[in-house]
Amino acid sequence: MICILGPTASGKTALAVHVAGKVNGAIISADSRQVFKGMDIGTGKDLATYGTIDHYLIDILEPGDDYSVAHFQDDFYEAFLDILLKQKRPILCGGTGMYMQSVLQGYTHTSVPVNPELRVHLEKKDIEELEKFFLSIPKPDTYRADISTKKRLIRAIEVAQWSMHNKSPVGRTGIESVIFGLSLPLEERRRRITNRLEERLKAGMLDEVSALLKQGVPEEKLKFYGLEYKYATAYLLGEMDYTSFFEKLNTEIHRYAKRQMTYFRKMEKDGLRIHWLDATAPIKKNTEKILRSI
């Protein structure tokens, strides 16, 4: 499998489509929000970009539905097998690192229920105490968890403790892949993000969010989806003025891109080799580099 990852606004989809056209490929999207119907402008689906290239895991759920890493894994493997049956080459493309890593390294994710009492207890502890507690819990050698923040560490403890008393699902084998990452100079990344936000607003992003609210999608759900949907909802509900809306959203997207890159570096530390490409280079040039490496 070919994997193409990168931060927001790096041109992942366009490159994946170009590569797919050269290798008889089909694209599996690894984006936690593009799975939802009607969330088009804010997530940058750019469906026209795909042209005649088959694509999967886009527009598969109604807005407001729940979706998790475990759901993504199930959907991914179904799409992966379908592509192989069609004798095409799977191309995993996206920016949601946790989704990508879960299938590249075969991590086991379960729909473990939230334990409110445990969370109240854990919230009182600092990160060092939580790390010691997490390490003390018996876990299978194959167990992996993202413990980069206090919130994720608490969830990892919750899952590990649940697994001690419940039968865990059989893990899947990671899929052999050649991974390519798109990297942008910081100033260029910032320029692209701000320009793209302005373009999305001109394209009717606020109207899109307004329509979702009118359809009955709970405001809490839209805010949960974060970034464009969180701040657009707050603005439309009169919780902030337009200037604050734009400035805060723009800042948060920049921070999100930084977090994406941090997660990709974590993937490298976890043993995944990423071949980095210059996102400012012509698509044709990067496509040629990919074709030479697979």
Q: Is the pTM of this model over 0.75?
A: yes
Centre a 10 Å sphere on the Cβ of residue 35 and count the other Cβ atoms it contains. 22
C-beta of residue 250 within 8 angstroms of C-beta of residue 191 = no
**How many alpha carbons fall within 13 Å on the CB side of residue 181?**
21
pLDDT at 61: 97
User: How far is 4 from 180, CA to CA, in rounded Å?
Assistant: 5
All structural domains of the chain = 111-168 (no CATH), 186-255 (1.10.287)
pLDDT at 285: 98
Q: Would you say 254 and 190 are in contact if contact means Cβ atoms under 8 Å apart?
A: yes
Which residues of the chain register pLDDT less than 50?
A: 170
Q: Amino acid identity of 250?
A: N
Residue 94 backbone dihedrals phi, psi, to 5 degrees: 170, -175
